[in-house]
Amino acid sequence: MKVIKAPLSREDILELKMGEEVLVEGSIYTARDAAHKRIAEAIRTGQDLPFDPNGQIIYYVGPCPAPPGRVIGSAGPTTSGRMDAYAPLLIKRGLRVMIGKGSRDEAVIEAMQKYGALYLAAVGGAGAYLARKIVAAEIVAYPELGPEAILKLEVKDFPCIVAIDAQGNNIYAR
Residue 74 lies in a domain: yes
- Give residue-wise pLDDT tens across range 103-115: 999 999 999 999 9
Residue 173 lies in a domain: no
How much is the pLDDT for 77? 96
Q: Read off the CATH number of the domain in which 71 is found.
A: 3.20.130.10
Let me know if 36 is a catalytic residue: yes
Residue 71 is classified by DSSP as S
Residue 174 lies in a domain: no
Catalytic residue among 36, 96, 101, 133, which?
A: 36
| Number of domains composing the chain | 1
Residue 154 lies in a domain: yes
pTM passes above 0.95: yes
Residue 61 lies in a domain: yes
CB 112 within 8 A of CB 168: yes
Domain that holds residue 101: 2-168
